[in-house]
Amino acid sequence: MKVLVPVKRVVDANVKVRVKADNTNVDTTNLKMALNPFCEIAVEEAVRLKEAGIATEVVVVSVGAKVVQEQLRTAMALGADRAIHIETDEDLVPLSIAKLLKAVQEKEQAQLIIFGKQSIDGDNNQTGQMLAALTDMPQATFASEVKLDGEKVTVTREIDGGLQTLSMPLPAIVTVDLRLNEPRYASLPNIMKAKRKPLDTLAVADLGVSLKAHQTVLKVTPPVDRKAGIMVSSVEELVEKLKNEAKVI
Amino acid sequence: MAILVLAEHDNVSLKSDTAKVVSAATAIGGDIHLLVAGADCGAAVTAAQALAGVSKVLVADSAEYGAQLAENLSKLVVELAADYEHILAAASSIGKDTLPRVAALLDVAQISEVIDVVSSDTFVRPIYAGNALATVQSLDAKKVMTVRSSAFDAVASTGSAETVNLSQVITARTEFVSQALTESARPELGNAGIIVSGGRGMGSGENFAILEQLADKLGAAVGASRAAVDAGFVPNDLQVGQTGKIVAPDLYIAVGISGAIQHLAGMKDSKVIVAINKDPEAPIFQVADYGLVADLFEAVPALNNLV
């Protein structure tokens, strides 16, 4: 069984971004970039399926400028077999990315597509669901457990209020939550090996997909800063402030 | 043109998220219809009819919609979509699961986690864990969006909308197996006026008992940071943050939480933030209105005695 894992390059999770002075976007120049943490979990799950003898091939795919190849190499160092890079310098909305991924899936015919549930930059939480709709596949989002049994996948999902378990026929789409697994670190030999693994680059035009503009970002602004608070020296003072100053208890 | 709001409910009770999404719909302006899709969801329909500003409640009551699966729920919404310019749902686990499918089937982009309505086609949403706000103008004919309910006040329950029963029954290949909900007598995180949250500093699940005592005394909900959830102290659905619940209570008490970017994303719109931490350098103190540098195992019981 082939597993397809779409991955994204994002600003490292520990970096606090700043909005550009002209309010056109956040400033990402010279920031540390990384594989989106949720995508890392998706890759890890796919690699574990391969190690368990369930998956035969793990293919990673990313849409973006040439630099996303770094993250595709990282994914291959973690155990993916090969990578597909769809090259574009444009900043695409999740729907456009899902359309490109649909074209990839038509060629690859993966039985399982594993996504991160959201990217930590756009915070959209859309792409997996959109690809599921475009390919008319069943979906299980926010997975914290994935079990494959023949032609079925059973997924435990994190929902508001608790956990839910769904079962779906393959091919299916799963988007993963933080709790699914603990991604491994890439070892140096695996990083070296990943350099020789196949990486195909495609242009958007090669995929025969027509994309359109869906939205305009008018401005990007910093959130309102909270006023600096005060430090209290005792629990008594804290309770007094909450009762008489903030009046919240 | 009209606005369709996907109601958030568990077949029995209508969630307060729905009243908040209706509030966002009211800000857009237009005739507001509510879709209640579920199984034996009569009680939720009655509550939905009462929401102020809603003129019609569309009812799809069938066993097929009992688990509110995105696969068939999205197709139902798309069948209704011709009459609507805006389709809204709460940015809840059901809304986030379903609406992107709706948007893709309609060939429009989705705007996620809207926190402000600028005009009928322009909306504000947070990006990068809330460290920037993007004002986005939709160029699509239909606007599909999820609404961050903590950013809107609930509408009153003073209305009396008519109901229309829908005949569409769409089946899903996805099969509902089981559900395990966290049982709690405390208020839901999303609705609570006060939240007491614990982090890694709590040390163990047993130690959360002192936070629970404080929460019960304050009528508060209990939340947690990712560290506390990952360590197994409390269930995942209590996680507050970029990837957990986004909350904005009147009072948020962060106990033993350092204040990582991802946690702040979920609570920094709270009206008053209190931080109790023994590390004076913890980033949480930069957003706290009242900070107390102390050992939480002394401070929390003392607080419990005083409130």
Q: For chains A and B, count residue pairs whose Cβ atoms are closer than 8 Å.
A: 255
A222 touches chain B (CB under 8 A): yes
Q: How far apart are CA A83 and CA A7, in angstroms?
A: 10
Tell me the two tokens of residue B161: 């909308």
Instruction: Tell if the pTM clears 0.80, that is, is over it.
Output: yes
Q: How far apart are CA B41 and CA B43, in angstroms?
A: 6
A239 touches chain B (CB under 8 A): yes
Instruction: Work out the minimum CA distance from B101 to partner chain A, whole angstroms.
Output: 5
- By the 10 Å C-beta count (0-12 exposed, 13-18 middle, 19+ buried), B249 is classed as buried
A235 touches chain B (CB under 8 A): yes
B6, B30 in Cβ contact below 8 A?
A: no
Does residue A141 have a pLDDT over 80? Answer: yes
pLDDT above 90 as % of chain A: 97
Q: How confident is the model at residue A227 (pLDDT cuts 50, 70, 90)?
A: confident
User: Chain-wide mean pLDDT for chain A?
Assistant: 97
Mean pLDDT, rounded, for A101-119: 98
Across the interface, whether the CB atoms of B236 and A179 are under 8 A apart is answered yes
DSSP secondary structure letter of residue B21: H
φ, ψ (nearest 5 deg) of residue A37: -55, -35
Across the interface, whether the CB atoms of B140 and A214 are under 8 A apart is answered yes
Does residue A249 have a pLDDT over 90? Answer: no
Tell me the two tokens of residue A85: 């890079």
Contacts of A144 in chain B (CB under 8 A): 236
Tell me the two tokens of residue A94: 């999740």
φ, ψ (nearest 5 deg) of residue B77: -60, -40
Residue with tokens 């009569």: B42
Question: What pLDDT is stored for residue B270 in this prediction?
Answer: 97
ipTM tops the 0.85 cut: yes
List the beta bridge partners of residue B14. B9
Distance of CA B43 to the CA centre of its chain: 21
List the beta bridge partners of residue A18. A27
Which 3 state secondary structure label does DSSP give A66?
A: coil
Which residues of A, range 28-87, sit inside 8 Å of B by Cβ?
none
Instruction: Specify the amino acid at residue A124.
Output: N
Q: Measure CB to CB from residue B96 to each of A14, A125, A163 and give the nearest one.
A: A125
Instruction: Specify the amino acid at residue B257.
Output: I
Contacts of A130 in chain B (CB under 8 A): 100-101, 103-104, 110
A238 touches chain B (CB under 8 A): yes
Does residue A228 have a pLDDT over 80? Answer: no
Instruction: Work out the minimum CA distance from B263 to partner chain A, whole angstroms.
Output: 12
Element (H, E) at B22: helix B16-28
Tell me the two tokens of residue B45: 């329909």
Which 3 state secondary structure label does DSSP give B159?
A: coil
Half-sphere exposure (CA, 13 Å, Cβ side) for B155? 21
Instruction: Work out the minimum CA distance from B262 to partner chain A, whole angstroms.
Output: 8
Residue with tokens 């686990």: B93
Question: What pLDDT is stored for residue B1 in this prediction?
Answer: 81
Query: How are the residues of chain B apportioned to helix, strand and coil, as percentages rounded to the nearest 5?
Result: 35, 30, 35
Length of chain A: 249
Residue of chain A nearest B105, judged by CA positions: A133
Cis before residue A171, ω within 30 degrees of 0? yes
Instruction: Specify the amino acid at residue B221.
Output: A
pLDDT in tens, B163-201: 999 999 999 999 999 999 998 899 999 989 999 999 999
Which residues of A, range 139-168, sit inside 8 Å of B by Cβ?
139-142, 144, 154, 157-168
Contacts of A211 in chain B (CB under 8 A): none
Across the interface, whether the CB atoms of A134 and B104 are under 8 A apart is answered yes
Mutate: best of B10, B99, B107, B131, partner A, most A CBs <10 A: B131
Q: Which residues of chain B have pLDDT under 50?
A: none
Q: How far apart are CA A80 and CA A96, in angstroms?
A: 24
DSSP secondary structure letter of residue A81: S
